[in-house]
Amino acid sequence: MTDDVLWFASDALDQMVVALRRLGDERVNERPDLPGANTPFAIVTHCLGVLEWWGGAVVAGRRVTRDRDAEFVATGRADELVERVDAAGARLAADVAGVEWAAPPEVVTNPDRPDGRTKGGVLLHLLEELYQHLGQLELTRDVLEAR
């Protein structure tokens, strides 16, 4: 099961990298003219925070310092972010290696949800977040390219 999660996480991250490369430095820090919209750079940076928190802290029990608000205002170059995506994928694989799906999470966020009861639930939530934000990134890319 864990290999399947890693396959899907890698798939989502690979698609994010394709979008970042397609946008390039010229557009990766642009924000669509929509209320509450985020830049592609910020969306992917947030996804890296998701991996770090849910995979690193909640599943692996690593001490994680995360500034979630800063994720949404982050800026930079596309190729630097691609390198961070690659590193985050490798870190996720290490964090979830040998995970016991039925074990309780290291950090309980909400015991009424599956991601608050088992590490397997956490991994499914992690995928949910990645694919939700991949869709957001793809729509953001499309809006920026239509300008």
- Give 55's contacts (C-beta < 8 A, 6+ positions apart): 91, 92, 95, 96, 123, 126
Say yes or no to pLDDT of 147 above 90. Answer: no
Give the pTM: 0.96
Question: What pLDDT score was predicted for residue 130?
Answer: 98
Question: What pLDDT score was predicted for residue 1?
Answer: 87
Angle at 60 between CA 57 and CA 62, to 5 degrees: 50
Report the pLDDT averaged over residues 22-36. Answer: 96
Rg (CA), the chain: 15
Q: Which two tokens stand for residue 33?
A: 């003219």
Task: Tell which CATH architecture fits domain 2-27+35-146.
Answer: Up-down Bundle (1.20)
Residue ranges of domains in the chain: 2-27+35-146
Per-residue pLDDT of 74-95, as tens digits, reads 999 999 999 999 999 999 999 9
Tell me which residue of 22, 2, 9 sits closest to 103, measured CA to CA.
2
Q: At what angle do helices 78-96 and 2-27 cross, to 10 degrees?
A: 170
Dist CA 141 CA 5 (whole Å)? 25
Per-residue pLDDT of 110-131, as tens digits, reads 999 999 999 999 999 999 999 9
